[in-house]
Amino acid sequence: MPIVMRGRLTLPGLQAAAPVCRWLTAWAVRSGLLLACAATAAPLDPFLEAGPHTKPGTGFVEFSSDGMSRQLDLLRLRPEGLTDDSAGVLRGFRLRAGYGVNSQLWIEGGFFRRQIFYGGLGPFFNGWQLGGQWRVRESLGRWSGPDISLRLNAWGNEAGTISVPRSTLERYRSFDMLDSLAVSGTADRQVQSDLVATWWTGTAVWSLFSGAGVGRVSVDSITASVGPFSTTWRGGRFDSDLVQSLAPTLGISDALASINYQTRFIHGGAGVRVPLGNWALRGGYQYFSIHREGVDAFISARSSDNAVYRTNHTLLGEVAYRMAPGMRVFVRGQAMSNQMLSDMPLLYNSLTARRFNERYGILSAGVMANF
């Protein structure tokens, strides 16, 4: 989550450049400015199936409410020792839909909105996903082999401007001269391809999947102010020539350059769906591994101050009940070994990496309509 520091020093004009530069130095070598919060590559990938609907013109619409808090953390997935009950609290919703265009092509998309609380802040994040599957092999029966699909998927997350008010800055010790801090235009974008195989055994549906992708994490701008003086970092440089000239000497250029970076990742896993009359059970597991250009090398060079985290293990479970033809309600749980490392890459940078050694989870409840 946003980790910010406190304090006040108001110096006029160019005299303020020195404290701002000192703040940026601390910002570069200490803990997180952006977001490290307490899932899958693209959302809900452990539930992947090849050709989810076999009949053309069929599909689904799903709406769920997502949350995490001390009361919802039944498995004690949140980090221990939290003194603030609001730390890591998540509220949000997810809307998903899918449609079978014909017997081979399946398209799907989704949108979610989340608010994550930490340290008195509660920024909002928007996430999206759009993809399609092309079934290259269709099973002719229970023992004739699996359905096999190729999948192409694009997904991402973004946040607006995250402004840290003076009242929040005052709570922390290290940034003892800032009057305001704002981070704007944080986003990630990914494209991935997958191979999915699904078997129907008569009593359950089993699936295996694997894939790879590339992405980008970016921050549009960072603005800090001390009294009447403010400076903005955008496009790789500061709007103040004085601050820009001092940046290499202060050792903050590499830290700022590592905020915008390229990624590549692989993932794989398995899932199962078990129909039980009006009830249905689903479960899935995913292994995710990511490589980040530049930022991981920068973190490794500061190993005494931080650590690199490249893998995430995700478990998904769901219990659903058919309350009417074509309509069912469900409860879904998601557990992650390393927070949102694979769901929301924008949260990870050289300042927040240390937070990703912690577990996290999300509990969802919703309704799905099939047509």
Q: Where are the beta strands (DSSP E) in 160-220?
A: 162-164, 180-184, 187-200, 205-218
Question: What's the pLDDT at 312?
Answer: 95
Give 241 or 92, the one with higher predicted confidence.
92
Cβ 149 vs Cβ 133: under 8 Å: yes
Q: Single out the residue of 36, 9, 31 nearest to residue 20, CA to CA.
A: 9
| Domain membership flag for residue 1 | no
- Per the document, the length of the chain is 371
Question: What's the pLDDT at 259?
Answer: 86
Q: Is the pLDDT of residue 86 over 80?
A: no
Q: How many domains does the chain have?
A: 1
Ranges 49-53, 84-88, 155-159, 258-262: which has the least confidence? 84-88
Report the CATH number at residue 312.
2.40.128.130
Mean pLDDT rounded to a whole number for the chain:
81
pTM higher than 0.85: no
Q: Is the pLDDT of residue 3 over 60?
A: no
Highest-scoring range by mean pLDDT, 77-86, 112-121, 337-346: 337-346
CA distance 22 to 87: 28
Structural domain boundaries enclosing 195: 13-370
Q: Is the pLDDT of residue 21 over 80?
A: no
| Domain membership flag for residue 127 | yes
| Domain membership flag for residue 360 | yes
Please write the tens of the pLDDT for every residue from 288-304. Answer: 999 998 888 888 887 56
Please write the tens of the pLDDT for every residue from 45-81. Answer: 999 999 776 678 899 999 999 988 777 766 666 666 5
| Domain membership flag for residue 2 | no
Question: What's the pLDDT at 178?
Answer: 75
Ranges 74-83, 129-138, 232-241: which has the least confidence? 74-83
Give the mean pLDDT of 200-208.
Answer: 91
Question: What's the pLDDT at 31?
Answer: 30
Question: What's the pLDDT at 291?
Answer: 94
Give 108 or 181, the one with higher predicted confidence.
108
| Domain membership flag for residue 290 | yes
Question: What's the pLDDT at 73?
Answer: 67
| Domain membership flag for residue 7 | no
Q: Is the pLDDT of residue 122 over 70?
A: yes
| Domain membership flag for residue 3 | no
370: CB partners within 8 A, 6+ apart = 58, 59, 60, 326, 327, 328
Give the mean pLDDT of 301-313.
Answer: 80
> Residues 283, 189, 118, CA angle at the centre, nearest 5°?
70
Please write the tens of the pLDDT for every residue from 145-179. Answer: 899 999 999 999 999 888 877 777 776 555 667 78
Percent of the chain with pLDDT over 70: 79
Question: What's the pLDDT at 78?
Answer: 62
| Domain membership flag for residue 353 | yes
Percent of the chain with pLDDT over 90: 47
3-state secondary structure of 174: coil
Q: Single out the residue of 96, 82, 83, 4 nearest to residue 38, CA to CA.
A: 82
